[in-house]
Structure 1
Amino acid sequence: MDDDSQYLLFLDLFNETYDTTDPSYVVSQNVKLCAKNSVNQFGAKFIPVFYTVNFLLSYLGNGLVLLVIYKYEKLNTVTNVFLQNLVFSNILFASSLPFWATYHLSEWIFGIALCKMVSSAYFIGFYSSILFLTLMTFDRYLAVVHAVAAAKSRKKVYAIIASVIVWVISVAASVKELVLRNVWVHPVNGLMCEESGLPQSTMEYWRLVTYYQQFLLFFLLPLIMVLYCYISITVRILSTRMKEKCRAIKLIFVIIVTFFACWTPYNFVILIRAIQISRSSLDEESCSDSDKLDFALYVTRNIAYLYCCISPVFYTFVGKKFQSHFKRLMAKKFPCLKKHISLNSQSTRTSSQRTPHSAYDY
């Protein structure tokens, strides 16, 4: 295609895009535009790498957890029902990452149907993963702090109902992605898969809903529950004669610090962005400040996503029981490793007879 043909095609796309613009988008005041070249270059270079790494780690780690559960564990226990749902939510989330990696490399080439479906799967998996992590923490709290009462209530039905509630909340929080996401042609960046089609004020309103929903419902509330549950568990463990008390407390500390360190930066960036939109100060914001916020969002978001992808491994293979299962699996698949792997079958056989304080293999 010669230069004239490319120029005419550009004009056609430009006119097609802006002829269909909603009149309510037109404003009478000057609008400050930032080129964001450095941000776009950073996104094109590093975001696909981050997403690819997250995708591979998620499928490897979650697949391994799923394999161990199905091979060595009872599937109908409360813990394993939650764990299976957590794995499925992470796999659903990770399945969207190759699409977004390709999108950052060039443009959206998958059509409007996949734009809506991938966006919905992305948020459903992300939200449900956070909620299932919180639910597993709460269930761990019940099993340790309220062991007697929990023994009667922690049945498979309870786990199924709680899991259904989590999926319903996650789907409901992601419906707007299915409705608002559309594919449109940008005169410079090509095909875009973004929220569009409504007046600017309406789009800003729903963007604020997303940000505050993310911060309050999917960060602040889970964080408060995680802190309360693990502090209560720590107090309970300290009051017992548990042999590996120090190891249990260290593990709890690591879980809390990791959860806080991975999720807090991303969610505070989200909160800052929401406050800026609420105050309608985006027009007064300098391009350098806007670029810094975009860079911060890219980096902190990927840290949070990485934790989301590897959380099942973190929550399972730190326990002695899953470590034993993994060793057995490796010894079976790779006989040459048998002499280097110490198997303790006794620990596996007696794992179900442990006290409630060690029910989760601290």
Structure 2
Amino acid sequence: MEQQVDQNQNQLVGSAKLLLGVGLDNFISLLVFGLIFILGVLGNTLVISVVARSKPGQTRSTTNIFILNLSVADLSYLLFCVPFQSTIYMLPTWILGAFICKFIHFFFTVSMLVSIFTLSAMSVDRYVAIVHARKASWIRVGRHATLGVVLIWILSVGMAAPVAHYQNLVEREDNSSFCWEVWPDRHRRVYVMCSFVFGYLLPLALISVCYMKVSAHGAPRARDAGIRRGED
């Protein structure tokens, strides 16, 4: 009886794999990809449509410009990278050619760096608005924010360029190909270290310092306000 149950279970699993064609684990990964894609596209499209809409004669705030840039970077990644990356879980070999292989990994790195640098710029913008309120009126203008966005994209593209250079198709003996990074060892170590420092450590330090100063600036005012309420 138990053997028959086991056989039935094995047949069900085998049938599921044949039906899906990709295996249960890969099918679950594809479902996650699909969920992220749908929710991400809908959410970022909604944000872009709301933030990009401005009244005639009204300039966009610096905060809105940075939020718009963040959403554009996320939406671009979802549209240009996720559909191609999902083929890794559906196909046993890479069939999309060398250009797509290079592009999706390059653009993944670009969009990630754009998001990180934009969050850093938003923390600086918030710091200027609160700590240097008197100067904020001429520092926090749309022209400066737009220039910052352009510089963010240029810097991100420059930092991601080595990824496009070293991402290549790797051929195997069975004529299957894979999209893989082929770095000289020394170059890879240098790039990983630079990416960690400039793409993670320094932005994290900048964001932390900005919000620490914002908190320190706001603490005395909150304390004074509490004292005044107590006196009243």
TM-score, scaled relative to structure 1: 0.50
The structural deviation recorded for 1:123 is 1.0
Distance 1:43 1:209 in 2: 35
Equivalent of residue 188 in structure 2, options 207, 215, 239: 207
Pair 1:86-2:64 in alignment: no
- Please tell me whether the aligned partners of residues 82 and 159 of structure 1 are also in contact (alpha carbons under 8 angstroms): yes
Gaps of 5+ in 2: 1-22, 227-232
Map residues 136-285 of structure 1 onto 2, 5 A cutoff.
136-187=122-173, 190-196=176-182, 203-241=184-222
Judged with a 3 Å threshold, the aligned counterparts in structure 2 of structure 1 residues 71 and 156 are, in CA distance, closer, same or farther, namely closer
Answer whether contact 1:108 1:193 (CA < 8 A) is retained: yes
Instruction: Give the distance between the partners of 1:94 and 1:44, measured in 2 at CA.
Output: 19
Q: Distance in 2 between matches of 1:207 and 1:101?
A: 26
CA spacing shift, 1:120–1:224, aligned 2, 3 Å: same
Identity %: 26
Q: Identify if the C-alpha distance between structure 1 residues 42 and 124 changes in structure 2 by more than 3 Å, giving closer, same or farther.
A: farther
CA distance in 1, matches of 2:194, 2:211: 24
Partner deviation per Cα, 1:233-288 (whole Å, 9 max, x = no partner) = 1122222259x99xxxxxxxxxxxxxxxxxxxxxxxxxxxxxxxxxxxxxxxxxxx
**What is the one-letter code of the residue matched to 1:97?**
V
- The residue type equivalent to 1:153 in the other structure is I
SS of residue matched to 1:239 = helix
Provide the C-alpha distance between the structure 1 equivalents of 2:28 and 2:173, rounded to a whole number of angstroms. 24
In 1: Cα distance, 2:139 partner to 2:116 partner? 23
Given that residues 195 and 203 in structure 1 are in contact (C-alpha distance below 8 angstroms), is that contact kept between their aligned partners in structure 2?
no
The 1:49/1:206 distance shift into structure 2, 3 A limit, reads farther
Which AA in structure 2 matches 1:54? I
1:124 alignment counterpart: 110
> Secondary structure, in 3 states, of the residue corresponding to 2:180?
strand
CA distance in 1, matches of 2:206, 2:78: 25
Structure 1 residue 42: deviation in Å? 9.8
Q: TM-score under structure 2 normalisation?
A: 0.75
CA contact (8 A) 1:134 1:225 kept: yes
| Mapped contact 1:79–1:136 kept (Cα < 8 A) | yes
Residue segments in structure 1 that go unaligned for 5+ positions in a row:
1-40, 197-201, 246-362
Give the C-alpha shift of residue 213 in structure 1.
Answer: 2.6
1:344 corresponds to which residue? none
Residues 1:98 and 2:71 are matched in the alignment:
no
Structure 1 residue 72 displacement after superposition:
5.7
Number of residue pairs matched?
A: 199
